[in-house]
A and B are shown apart, each in its own frame.
Chain A
């Protein structure tokens, strides 16, 4: 029978089969789930009242602050590293390459522990939690952002630099006024991705000793697990709040993407 079908009929049958597999798999998953256990320990919304309003007022706010500070440091550090990596001076290139490979290669958790415990121990200083988060997140972010920005800077046509230099602009001025603004436009979508990753990485703050006013979303969730008797439900709530931050960011990134695709500016 298959031999008698047209290409269009075959494509339609194939789609039906794919949809069927999806429906069966979903049904199997639903049937296999122990809904009573899940209801008690994951969707137990009856007991999570005490999370509010603090998880919203304090937790969401702290997550946003930590992410923002980390991003600002990461962006400035990343730009510096990207320019170093493109420098004609070999020492700069080596330093930047070494930094990027190191901080991209180790888990962010280790960086948090290093700056939260190692550095204070080594230098006898005690850092404010906010500073530790900013430095840890920022230094990891700088490594990733540096690579993104480097690619963006290199994507700006060489003629742009030549035209700017031909008008008498010194190298740095041409970079600042002509090349970097164009590079940022190119890397806006991947840069938004970095912010989303940072938002989630800020949860690593849990390895530090925190006072209640410093709790971020995840810490609220983890605390709730032990104190509320609602199983993992508090983490589900925390997760939902992350989506409140990250989904708008994704939409923003998509908007930038479609806009730059339309105008190619």
Chain B
């Protein structure tokens, strides 16, 4: 998949995709250890989907990558940053790492456009007109250029999530983290969000995606990582892990998720 990495991003010039390297990561809440020594590499331009049952630690792992959760042990390298170095400039690192949340977390007091410009002007010190241009381009990219002046509560869930993606993209990230981006959406709006993500993957963005969308994982991901109980149980080429899992726990999980009569309860 790395060979399809191209400089196709339409407004930012060259694409800088960052990789992630996680070594022996541990994270506990009190006595409850949720990550029990995770190691995971994501190459620049690679798309990796994290799957697994609720409480398996996949969201925590994702949130450790941009330090929304502080790991207890192990190392994380993101692009040129050592995230676990106590002296790391967290804010500088986070500019390179886009985050998309399950609950969107759009800023409700700002229009879609301002959601996409506020960090550009306040953090990257871009001029308002330049920020507006970048924001419009990214809203266009997620198919919402015509709704730039709407406020979040005037948008559907799927539209809000696409604005959230545009907001992250407006910072020109080198890595995008998705934390169950479609789990809070009405079924009919899931497709729009997934297609935006699919395009992003085609453009060569490094993506780490926590998801329950097996169809998306199979089609878009280069690799799938199955987690359970705070450890990586199985990982490999997406098609292979999903269609022909080798581990018992993976088989059991996939059977439950892919069974249409099974009702998925999201975390």
Contact = CB atoms under 8 A, between A and B. Distances in A.
A51 interface: no
Contact of A173 (B98, B99, B122): B122
Nearest to B67: A165
B166 to A, nearest CB: 12
Interface of A: 157, 159-160, 162-170, 173, 177-178, 181-182, 185, 263-265
Given A157-B103, A164-B119, A169-B122, 5 more contacts: A163-B101, A163-B106, A167-B118, A173-B123, A178-B107
B11 interface: no
Nearest to B177: A166
A166 B68 contact: yes
A168 B109 contact: no
Interface stretch (B21-29, B89-97, B141-149, B220-228): B89-97
A181 B110 CA distance: 10
Name which of B95, B98, B103, B108 has the most chain A CB atoms within 10 A of its CB. Answer: B108
Contacts of B123: 167-169, 173
Contacts of B171: 167-168
Question: For chain A, what secondary structure do more than half of its interface residues adopt (helix, strand, loop), or is it mixed?
Answer: helix
A169 B122 CA distance: 8
Contacts of B119: 164, 167-169
Contact of A265 (B92, B97, B109, B124): B109
B151 interface: yes
Interface residues of B, number: 27
Given A169-B122, A265-B151, A182 B108 contact: yes
A149 to B, nearest CB: 16
Contact of B109 (A157, A164, A182): A182
A265 B108 contact: yes
Interface string B74-103: 000000000000000001101101110101
B109 A162 contact: no
B107 A264 contact: no
B153 A168 contact: no
Contacts of A173: 122-123
30 contacts: A157-B103, A159-B103, A160-B105, A162-B68, A162-B101, A163-B105, A163-B106, A164-B107, A165-B91, A165-B94, A166-B68, A166-B97, A166-B168, A167-B95, A167-B123, A167-B167, A168-B91, A168-B123, A168-B124, A169-B91, A169-B119, A170-B91, A173-B122, A177-B118, A178-B107, A178-B118, A182-B108, A185-B109, A264-B153, A265-B108
B107 A168 contact: no
Contact of B105 (A162, A169, A181, A263): A162
Given A178-B107, A181-B109, A182-B108, A168 B92 contact: yes
